Structure 1
Amino acid sequence: MAKGGGTVVRISRRQFLAYGLSAVAAAGFSACAPTGSPAPAPQQAPSTGQVTPAPPTRPVEFVISTSPGGGSDIYARFIIGIIEKHKLSPQPFVPVNKAGGAGAEAMQYVTSKRGDPHVIMITLNSFITTPMLQKLPFTTRSFTPIALLALDPFFLWVWSDSNIKTLEDFLKEARQRSITVGGTGSKQEDEILFKLIELRANTKPFNYVPFRGGGEVCTALAGKQVEATVNNPSECVQFYPERTRPLAAFLDERTPAYKDLPTAKELGLNISYVNMRAVVGAPELSRQHQAWHINLMKQVYETQDWQDFVKQNALEAKFLTGDDFQKFLDDFEKLHRDIMTQAGWV
């Protein structure tokens, strides 16, 4: 049980391996519906006319741009577990971690598989930011959109025995000295969020330490290598409440899974920010192969396994495909370009 009575699923790494925006209101951006509302019905896949979905003919690589234990790794392996449990694919899905270059290694690998339906990738916000920052020869539009499955919140975490007890304590301390914090990669979603805290709350710059994935980040927090993180809930639940403790959620509304955890907005810090959990394919997939993967992810989304997982890990269920998903990606890209321009990174 979460403190205050909210139920939090505890799934060990072994179980995961086996079983597999609203945005920054102070900056004037808005997008996603509030977290905590009932799971919406998935939007229909785009009409394929006479297109017959074409299934894979050999094992499918499910590429993950973070190290084992991070959010993307957790979700990809959980999705694979659902596919296997419900026998949704004639071919197995194999997790492939490529954690280098803030997601660049994974993206470059997938783009090299042009037209190949046997390689897909789970995304997080670095899918948007890394091509911009590193000036890579591709953008989100280079990939074949498959589906958005959920939006993942960020919490501000500290040690369980930290003298910092509240968000107010954290901001007061951060205005006096540079707090050492950790996050996934450099100038990705975690560092973006700490930069927003600095800009909105007028703190000193944070001493930011990059790691290869969210699992490593929260392990570093639990081991007191850093003083604070902005992990997604699923990444830190293995250490909560014994070694880690959340101070606030960067959401518009409280999430039922942590119902006693206030939002940053409630506490006067007007920031709301989420991580996208979506799936894309290699460039130039045929309509037949794209349709098969869309239908597969729709089936995954509709399982009770996925809906329970979403609720228990404080995610917002959101299923988009086709033009709606592409518009979401385009809007999200503009949001991040504006944020990174404000931060002086691009």
Structure 2
Amino acid sequence: MRRDTFLKSLAAMAAVGALPLSANAAGPNMKMMIPANPGGGWDTTGRALGKALIDGGQASTVTYDNKGGAAGALGLAQFVSGSKGDPNALMVMGAVMLGGIITGKPPVDLHQATPIARITSEYNVFVLPANSPFKTMADVVAQLKKDPGSVKWGGGSRGSTEHIAAAMIAREVGVDPAKINYVAFRGGGEATAAILGGNVTVGGSGFSEFAEYIKAGKMRPIAVTSGTRLEGSNVPTLKEQGINVEIGNWRGVYGAPGISAAQRKALIDMVLAALKTPAWNEALKKNDWTPAVLSGDAFSKFVDDEFASLRATMVKSGMV
């Protein structure tokens, strides 16, 4: 076929939409707000989703903006004010942000952004530094009962699931939750460094964030917040150890304020398509994430219900 004939046939195919997406029209240039510092669960989730969007052809490029602090409230404020009406903007969020809003009462609210989808769920693990004099959760609880302030709990921002879990543990073992010494960090990377350096007594985060350090013997896992032991793990649950605490950590994405119903649907379809890619399945396995997909209005209702449930738990635990 002559070159000019080939080019004419390409043009004709494009005109009737017969070309594949990659040749016909590139996907949009997406912007991903990650309301946490690099190295934590939201950062890993946002970048994994961005890769899946590109690999699946839903996006041409994805740029990332890390803005940590206040359990995601600082990033949320920037997202709400700077992305109004932008159909190509997404923000990672989750249970931690709800807890932060309850405790911090920031001027911004999740209702100002647009719910898109819940994508994963994960349970927390509590760990000790490798050189800790404590060996088990029972050791930590004994010290907590003796002197609550001497046990430094390290984890994400105030209101995070590990913060709530620490308060619930205290309540369950007869210690005033208001007396726990919780050290909040702006991102998973900071919390990890503090634990590895022995600057906190016990640390908490999503299992995937600590997995490599546990495997390397740099952290000693002492409890998970799930109802039953996690698959492939021998770490005992809190319930097994006589502490009636179970709490999960889910993550999702929101769109910008002021987008139309059609734009919201396009974002939902885009995210759901990305979650079916090999790239996303690889991220699920690598990070031990549990798929927990819920989108659109069902996700909106879930967030409202979860907010009410978390608030009730936090009030009961003396955090609010």
TM-score by length of 2: 0.83
User: How far off its partner does 1:316 sit?
Assistant: 2.1
Equivalent-residue separation in structure 2 for 1:218 and 1:153 (angstroms): 17
User: How far off its partner does 1:303 sit?
Assistant: 2.4
Q: Could you tell me which residue of structure 1 aligns to residue 99 of structure 2?
A: 129
Tell me the amino acid that sits aligned with residue 156 of structure 2. T
State yes or no: 1:242 paired with 2:224.
Answer: no
Equivalent-residue separation in structure 2 for 1:65 and 1:56 (angstroms): 27
Change (3 A) 1:84 1:270: same
* Pairing 1:58-207 to 2, within 5 Å after superposition: 59-89=29-59, 91-112=60-81, 113-177=83-147, 178-203=150-175, 205-207=179-181
| Structure number with higher relative contact order (C-alpha < 8 Å, ≥ 6 residues apart) | 1
User: How far off its partner does 1:345 sit?
Assistant: 3.9
User: How far off its partner does 1:308 sit?
Assistant: 4.0
* Pairing 1:300-315 to 2, within 5 Å after superposition: 300-315=274-289
Equivalent-residue separation in structure 1 for 2:240 and 2:285 (angstroms): 22
The answer (yes or no) to whether the contact 2:36–2:42 under 8 Å persists in 1 is: yes
Equivalent-residue separation in structure 2 for 1:200 and 1:315 (angstroms): 28
User: How far off its partner does 1:246 sit?
Assistant: 1.1
Q: What SS class does the counterpart of residue 231 from structure 1 fall into?
A: strand
* Pairing 1:22-33 to 2, within 5 Å after superposition: none
The answer (yes or no) to whether the contact 2:120–2:289 under 8 Å persists in 1 is: yes
Q: Could you tell me which residue of structure 1 aligns to residue 236 of structure 2?
A: 262
Once superposed, which parts of structure 1, at least 4 consecutive aligned residues long, lie more than 4 Å away?
Answer: 55-58
Change (3 A) 1:256 1:180: same
Moved more, 119-128 or 149-158: 119-128
Q: Could you tell me which residue of structure 1 aligns to residue 16 of structure 2?
A: none
User: How far off its partner does 1:311 sit?
Assistant: 4.0
Tell me the amino acid that sits aligned with residue 256 of structure 1. E
Instruction: Kindly provide the CA deviation profile for residues 8-33 of structure 1, in whole angstroms up to 9, marking residues without a partner as x.
Output: xxxxxxxxxxxxxxxxxxxxxxxxxx
Tell me the amino acid that sits aligned with residue 315 of structure 2. T
Equivalent-residue separation in structure 2 for 1:257 and 1:83 (angstroms): 29
Moved more, 173-182 or 199-208: 199-208
Change (3 A) 1:265 1:345: closer
Change (3 A) 1:345 1:262: closer
**Percent identity over paired residues:** 28
Which residue among 264, 267, 272 is the counterpart of 1:298? 272
The answer (yes or no) to whether the contact 1:167–1:248 under 8 Å persists in 2 is: yes
The answer (yes or no) to whether the contact 1:71–1:215 under 8 Å persists in 2 is: no
Tell me the amino acid that sits aligned with residue 285 of structure 1. I
Tell me the amino acid that sits aligned with residue 136 of structure 2. T
Q: What SS class does the counterpart of residue 128 from structure 2 fall into?
A: strand
Q: Could you tell me which residue of structure 1 aligns to residue 17 of structure 2?
A: none
Q: Could you tell me which residue of structure 1 aligns to residue 5 of structure 2?
A: none
Q: What SS class does the counterpart of residue 229 from structure 2 fall into?
A: coil
Equivalent-residue separation in structure 2 for 1:257 and 1:282 (angstroms): 38
Q: Could you tell me which residue of structure 1 aligns to residue 13 of structure 2?
A: none
Equivalent-residue separation in structure 1 for 2:26 and 2:153 (angstroms): 43
Change (3 A) 1:265 1:311: farther
Structure number with greater Rg is 2
Moved more, 185-194 or 241-250: 185-194
Equivalent-residue separation in structure 2 for 1:175 and 1:345 (angstroms): 18
Tell me the amino acid that sits aligned with residue 109 of structure 1. Q
User: How far off its partner does 1:213 sit?
Assistant: 0.7
Equivalent-residue separation in structure 2 for 1:219 and 1:290 (angstroms): 38
Equivalent-residue separation in structure 2 for 1:344 and 1:167 (angstroms): 22
Instruction: Kindly provide the CA deviation profile for residues 44-74 of structure 1, in whole angstroms up to 9, marking residues without a partner as x.
Output: xxxxxxxxxxx99863220111100011001
Instruction: Kindly provide the CA deviation profile for residues 96-138 of structure 1, in whole angstroms up to 9, marking residues without a partner as x.
Output: 0011333121111121122211321000223213333333344
Instruction: Kindly provide the CA deviation profile for residues 269-293 of structure 1, in whole angstroms up to 9, marking residues without a partner as x.
Output: 1111111210001122212221121
TM-score by length of 1: 0.78
Tell me the amino acid that sits aligned with residue 244 of structure 1. M
Tell me the amino acid that sits aligned with residue 47 of structure 2. R
* Unmatched segments (≥5 aa) in structure 1: 1-54
The answer (yes or no) to whether the contact 1:146–1:294 under 8 Å persists in 2 is: yes
Equivalent-residue separation in structure 2 for 1:56 and 1:283 (angstroms): 25
* Pairing 1:276-287 to 2, within 5 Å after superposition: 276-287=250-261
Q: Could you tell me which residue of structure 2 aligns to residue 49 of structure 1?
A: none
